[in-house]
Amino acid sequence: MRLVVDLNRCQGFAQCVFLAPDVFSLHGEEALLFSPRFDEAQQDRVEKAAAACPVQAILVDYSDEPTKRVEPHVG
Amino acid sequence: MSADTDVQLLRRQGRIVVVGASLAGLRAAETLREQGFTGSLTMIGDEPYEPYDRPPLSKQALLGRAQPEDTALPRRRDIDAEWRLGVAAESLDRDAKQVRLTNGDTVPYDRLLITTGTRARPWFHPEEAALDGVFVLRTRDDSARLRRKLTGGVSRVLVIGAGFTGSEVASACRELGLEVTVAERGPAPLVGALGGVIGAVADRLQRKHGVDLRCGVSVTALEGDDVGRLRRAHLSDGSALDVEVAVVSLGAMRNTEWLAGSGVAAGPRGVACDAGCRVFDVNGIVTDDIYAAGDVARSPHPLFDYQFLALEHWGNAVEQAEIAAHNMICAGPDRRPHLWLPMFWSSQFGVNIKSVGVPSLGDQLVVAQGALAAERFVAVYGYRGRVIAAASFDGAKWLGFYEQQIASGAPFPPEYRTVDRRTETLHPIDPAFPDPHLPTHGATVTLTGHSPSGRRVSFIPSHA
Amino acid sequence: MTSGTLSAQITDYANRADPYPLYAELRKQPVRREDDGTFLVSTYYEVRNLANDPRLSNDTSNRPPGYGRPGQPPPESGLPPSFIFTDPPVHDRLRETITRPFGPPHSPRFLDGLRGELAKVVTELLDAFEGRDEVDIVEDFAYPLPVTAICKVLGVPREDEPRFHGWADALASGVDPQAGGGSGQEKAQRARQDLGAYLTDLIETKRRHPGPGILSALAPEMTPADLEATAVLLLVAGHETTVNAITNTTLTLLRHPDILDRFLKDPDLAVPLIEEVLRYESPVQFVPWTTALDDIDVAGTTIPKGSPVWLMLAAANRDPKRFKNPDRFDPDRKDNEHLGMYTGIHYCFGAPLARIELHLAVPELFRRVKFSRLLQDPPPYRANAVLRGPRHLPVAIEGLTA
């Protein structure tokens, strides 16, 4: 499961840090750091964090399907 | 057959090829499917990885709070694409409407989207660049390699160039407890992007956090030992520095070489496209089947006298990709313009730095809220009497207001009273940007003149 | 203020149960000047922009003489205003200090660490429903939980909790513009004094014998007066807002049986559902304590310097220009960027605590209690127009699961 925060939108309200402190953290008073990948144990908290974001800046993808790829030809 | 029928056919069974499996490429692909495109979609990427997020690579990844390989971007939806990863595009044949790959394959298209982005500018001396211990930081692999090195018992790191990436690397190194020297050709860090006045704040910030910052010097040579490991750096002031790691942070180069000879307007400054993301050819004629988005694109912006604006911004990649995708599969009247206001962020030394607009165009600056000395403020940039940009240090919540001021062409300096105004009246000062004729690696927004053609591009200095 | 003005109608108790038609009327003129020179702003984008506008102050002493100055203690009291009634840089310094023991960056796990204790409180409160066929959701559930929560956050001894009930109620009515003057204001003043005396003692005790809770951590960091003002604010806000959020959620679900059915089958619906309640029935209906520091042009109207400005959050949250079918309660709503907790630098300080309480309380309430029906709809409301919510929510219940 993966996530990304649109840090242009993010204004450092830090609601996600309160609700999922293992996935999100503040660096200083305002800069947000996040773990782009999280496991099932965190799913519930991440979901709450994403819903609570006052500027709706958190995009979460609960699926984890591998990319269907075409191997390049050799030679 | 009318154009509308063509569009319907295209949406149903067209072939769309995206070159550049990047943030922009992915968001474009999602938008295409979101808007009902059911034809074939091919994603070509030179790296062997699905699209991933780059900003963490110079921040949490270096700190070990995230793994570089965990940065794959979340998907907004299934895109049902054919992925050609680990193979780069080599050339474009507009007559045959196909992309040739480095492995000899050709991929035909009805619509092509160019999202090849940028790469790190390498150290100018190839042999020195190849020394063990010399790094650039752009890709997942770069970040993983650098992290391994930084945690492998090094004593001193040299960062060459104090733009945003270089400053973030220096910040991470200090947090990891490493000694860091930063060598910056300009008078202060971030000077190309934010000017010397704000650069002075960044300067203080670096020194306060124990960075050995040396401005006004360049690195002239990197010296290796007999087994090819970096051991010393020579600086333009005649000094030398014993280092095991050098991180070359001299900005980015646009990945346009593969388009040489194709007849599209592509060059070192990027791929020129119109406000609808349609790529120009070298004669300044707009194509209708080739689009560009993200860091590689440059397009005219009404807020900046319709100069072509090149942006290395995350948000621009997303927005421009969505517009390009939309425009690719609809008829003329339904197309939308890309009018994104440049927006940027960086976090370093525990401070959140954000900007909106084009600071480097500014001819004047005021500190509208807060104080430079407190390292918490909003600085507003003016250009010929109107608000053109704003930059904040730990003041992100105010930027939306200044964004609207920029968009509405509000007068500069701002005359109104606000909260946290530290002086009775605002005294505009020179933001102290370096001479625009000199190359800079710090800017993430570049105005690249009015000519779409890469062959005739003339640089318009931002300070007339 | 003449009785015909919309602000008077909004604060009129007769409209408490359903103020939304008034808000719709208000939105017809996004920026509306009342006869006394107060401006009411009611549409989403205008409210959001103003809440983020540095020309708008939360320090009501910027108002010209003659206007109410909510949040500003009388000069003779010598007390400082609490941080929500200040502007930067004072505001930022106070809020950051108070955040130190409360949240990130220094204490990101403080609230998270209270989950276990709060879950136990929820269980105890619901256990007490055993054998009853009628309960008052406010008195029996939605009120006691936030009281305990805020007391734990501050470090107030549990046995002192009952005394806070009356004080908090009286103080909350102090921010209600309707209470301006009358006996409400007087009661608020007296409550403030009694509470102040209690807190002075408590803070002094905490200073000498630090214990759990943020007062102990803050005692060495702040002046006693600032800390007291902070404690009063957090106490009132902690009491009077979360109770409304929990009660409103219960009321709204019981009014929407189709969604309640879905929720019972799919407890994961709680997360979007709670956010939707914050939009649909905003616990703080409007913010009547801002002031224009300069002339501000909004939506074609100029708000002159010095004007009191009311930001109508609950009206903005029902703005059809921002939310499709805004009067529909729809937990599936995408893009629910509501203003239920405000926005900008004064974004609700207690929002994460409120959400933690809601996430604990709401799913458990509906998992364990089999509801039969609302006994009174609409229920009786509190007097307060700003912190609007039912005073009682009597419901008939059919049983309790373990």
Tell whether the model's pLDDT for residue C180 goes beyond 60.
no
CB contact under 8 A, C356 and A19: yes
Can the peptide bond before residue C390 be classed as cis, meaning omega within 30 degrees of 0? no
CA distance linking residue A19 with residue C109, whole number of Å: 9
Query: Using alpha carbons only, what angle is made at residue C52 by residues C109 and C44, rounded to the nearest 5 degrees?
Result: 100
CA distance linking residue A49 with residue B420, whole number of Å: 31
Of how many residues is chain C composed? 402
CB contact under 8 A, A33 and B72: no
CB contact under 8 A, A28 and B351: yes
Least confident stretch, B20-34, B85-99, C84-98, C158-172: C158-172
pLDDT tens digits for C232-260?
889 888 888 999 999 999 999 999 999 99
Please name which of B371, B340, B356, B446 lies closest in space to residue B405, comparing C-alpha atoms.
Answer: B356
Q: Which residue of B has its CA nearest to C346?
A: B397
From chain B, the residues in CB contact with A36 under 8 A are 53, 56, 66, 70-72
pLDDT band at B436, cuts 50/70/90?
low
Region of C284 on the Ramachandran plot (φ > 0 left; ψ -120 to 50 alpha; else beta): beta
Strand intervals (E) in C55-120: 56-57
Quickly tell me which residue has 């000519």 as its tokens.
Answer: B451
C255 contact partners, CB below 8 Å, separation of at least 6: C329, C374, C377
The minimum CA-CA distance between B123 and chain A, rounded to whole Å, is 30
Least confident stretch, B86-100, B268-282, C153-167: C153-167
Query: In chain A, how long is the greatest CA-to-CA distance?
Result: 53
Please name which of B182, B155, B152 lies closest in space to residue B167, comparing C-alpha atoms.
Answer: B182
pLDDT tens digits for B391-421?
999 999 999 999 999 999 999 999 999 999 9
Please, is C26 exposed, middle or buried when counting C-beta atoms within 10 Å of its C-beta (0-12, 13-18, 19+)?
A: buried
Q: Which residue of C has its CA nearest to A14?
A: C104
Residue B11 phi/psi, 5° resolution?
-65, -35
C4: how many CB neighbours lie within 10 A of its CB? 8
Residue of A3, A5, A7, A58 for testing the chain B interface, max B β-carbons within 10 Å: A7
Tell whether the model's pLDDT for residue C164 goes beyond 80.
no
Which tokens sit at B45?
A: 């990427």
CA distance linking residue C87 with residue B245, whole number of Å: 46
Tell whether the model's pLDDT for residue A72 goes beyond 50.
no
What pLDDT is recorded for position A49? 98
B220 contact partners, CB below 8 Å, separation of at least 6: B234, B235, B236
Quickly tell me which residue has 């734990």 as its tokens.
Answer: C152
Region of B74 on the Ramachandran plot (φ > 0 left; ψ -120 to 50 alpha; else beta): beta
What pLDDT is recorded for position B426? 86
Of how many residues is chain B composed? 464
**Quick one: DSSP state of residue C139?**
I
Q: Which of residues 76-105 of C touch B (CB under 8 A)?
A: 87-89, 92
What pLDDT is recorded for position A73? 42
Residue C16 phi/psi, 5° resolution?
-65, -40
What pLDDT is recorded for position A35? 96
Give CB contacts under 8 A, 24+ apart, made by C377-381.
C377/C255, C378/C17, C378/C18, C379/C17, C379/C251, C381/C13, C381/C16, C381/C17
**Quick one: DSSP state of residue B239?**
-
Q: Which of A2, A11, A70 is the closest to B72 by Cβ?
A: A2
Query: Cα torsion for A66, A67, A68, A72, to the nearest 10°?
Result: -120
pLDDT band at A66, cuts 50/70/90?
low
From chain C, the residues in CB contact with B417 under 8 A are 55, 293-294, 305
pLDDT tens digits for B122-164?
999 999 999 999 999 999 999 999 999 999 989 899 999 999 9
The minimum CA-CA distance between B152 and chain C, rounded to whole Å, is 28
The three-class DSSP label of residue B185 is coil
pLDDT tens digits for C331-378?
999 989 999 999 999 999 999 999 999 999 999 999 999 999 999 999
What pLDDT is recorded for position B260? 93
Percent of chain B's residues with pLDDT above 70: 94
Which is more confidently placed, C338 or B453?
C338
Which tokens sit at C239?
A: 């009491």
The minimum CA-CA distance between A7 and chain B, rounded to whole Å, is 7
A37: how many CB neighbours lie within 10 A of its CB? 18
C30 contact partners, CB below 8 Å, separation of at least 6: C41, C42, C43, C46, C298, C299, C301
Please name which of B27, B47, B35, B29 lies closest in space to residue B8, comparing C-alpha atoms.
Answer: B35
Please, is B277 exposed, middle or buried when counting C-beta atoms within 10 Å of its C-beta (0-12, 13-18, 19+)?
A: buried
Tell how far CA B174 is from the center of its chain.
24
- pTM here is 0.94
Can the peptide bond before residue C378 be classed as cis, meaning omega within 30 degrees of 0? yes
pLDDT band at C182, cuts 50/70/90?
low
Containing B85, the helix (H) or strand (E) segment is strand B82-85
pLDDT tens digits for B3-56?
556 899 999 999 999 999 999 999 999 999 999 999 999 999 999 999 999 999
Question: Is the distance from CB of B190 to CB of B178 less than 8 angstroms?
Answer: no
CB contact under 8 A, B418 and C294: yes
- The secondary structure of C298-313 as a DSSP string is ETTEEE-TT-EEEE-H
C127 contact partners, CB below 8 Å, separation of at least 6: none
Please name which of A22, A17, A15 lies closest in space to residue A55, comparing C-alpha atoms.
Answer: A15
CB contact under 8 A, A72 and B347: no
Containing B106, the helix (H) or strand (E) segment is strand B106-108
What pLDDT is recorded for position B11? 95
pLDDT tens digits for B234-281?
999 999 999 999 999 999 999 999 999 999 999 999 999 999 999 999
Q: Is A7 on the interface with B (CB under 8 A)?
A: yes
Q: Is C293 on the interface with B (CB under 8 A)?
A: yes
CB contact under 8 A, B368 and C54: yes
C192 contact partners, CB below 8 Å, separation of at least 6: C73, C171, C174, C232
The minimum CA-CA distance between B394 and chain C, rounded to whole Å, is 11
Tell whether the model's pLDDT for residue B346 goes beyond 90.
yes
The minimum CA-CA distance between C50 and chain B, rounded to whole Å, is 9
What pLDDT is recorded for position B438? 60
pLDDT band at A26, cuts 50/70/90?
very high
Tell whether the model's pLDDT for residue C2 goes beyond 50.
no
Q: Which of C52, C55, C89 is the closest to B417 by Cβ?
A: C55
Q: Is C272 on the interface with A (CB under 8 A)?
A: yes
Please name which of B320, B387, B317 lies closest in space to residue B358, comparing C-alpha atoms.
Answer: B387
Q: Which of C104, C111, C359 is the closest to A48 by Cβ?
A: C359
Read off the pLDDT of each residue in A32-61 and give the average, rounded to a whole number: 96
Least confident stretch, B406-415, C180-189, C305-314: C180-189
Mean pLDDT of chain C: 92
Q: Is B101 on the interface with A (CB under 8 A)?
A: yes
CB contact under 8 A, A56 and C335: yes
Which tokens sit at B125?
A: 């001396």
Q: Which of residues 37-66 of B touch A (CB under 8 A)?
A: 50, 53, 55-56, 59-60, 63, 65-66
C263 contact partners, CB below 8 Å, separation of at least 6: C253, C269, C270, C273, C331, C366
pLDDT tens digits for C102-155?
999 999 999 999 999 999 999 999 999 999 999 999 999 999 999 889 999 999
Tell whether the model's pLDDT for residue A71 goes beyond 60.
no
What pLDDT is recorded for position C173? 66
Question: Is the distance from CB of B160 to CB of B247 less than 8 angstroms?
Answer: yes
Question: Is the distance from CB of C6 to CB of C25 less than 8 angstroms?
Answer: yes
Q: Is A61 on the interface with B (CB under 8 A)?
A: yes
The minimum CA-CA distance between A29 and chain C, rounded to whole Å, is 6
From chain C, the residues in CB contact with A17 under 8 A are 103-104, 108
pLDDT tens digits for B276-329?
999 999 989 999 999 999 999 999 988 878 889 888 999 999 999 999 999 999
CB contact under 8 A, C352 and A21: no
What pLDDT is recorded for position C163? 82
